[in-house]
Amino acid sequence: MRVLQKMKNAVRSRSIHVSYVDTGSCNGCDIEVLACLSPRYDLEQYGIYVHNNPREADVLLVIGCCTPQWEDKLRSIWEKIPEPKVAIAIGNCPVSGCVFNREGGYVNPPAEKHIPIAASVPGCPPRPTEIIRAILSLAPQVFEDYEEKQG
């Protein structure tokens, strides 16, 4: 691997841009993601920056059960994120549907049916430290030799 490529990978793995989408949750996980932005957890000290625009993101956080209204929208958001990209399912809802997954209900779990999920953070809701740990654990995988894989 070239020296320039190694430097790019090192810089990129310390500058992670995250976007999150709530596809139908009770807002418990949403509050925990927003708590990551508070001074207590301070995402930016780890080089993680939150964007509302998926075109600026490397990581997509999926929160909540995937309802029928969100199936196509979630795929559309996923396609707008430039390569390299990963998605993380936050909480039990995008993994299993949790309490909303009932017979005759309007949820369609898991989120993996609609977009590829690289990691999941279980819990109802998961702690902010667990969310941060999941993002940081995927950072080296996202940027590892990306330009060489494209060539």
Q: What is 18-136's CATH number?
A: 3.40.50.12280
Q: In this predicted structure, what is the pLDDT of residue 142?
A: 76
Q: In this predicted structure, what is the pLDDT of residue 140?
A: 78
Q: In this predicted structure, what is the pLDDT of residue 148?
A: 59
Global confidence as pTM? 0.86
Question: Is-cis flag, bond preceding 39, omega within 30?
Answer: no
Report the C-alpha gap between 30 and 32 in whole angstroms.
5
Domain chopping of the chain, boundaries: 18-136
The residue count for the chain: 151
Residue by residue, pLDDT tens for the chain (151 residues) are: 578 777 777 777 678 899 999 988 888 888 999 999 899 998 888 889 998 999 999 899 999 888 888 889 999 999 999 988 999 999 988 888 777 777 777 777 788 889 999 999 999 889 999 999 999 998 877 777 665 555 5
Q: In this predicted structure, what is the pLDDT of residue 106?
A: 77
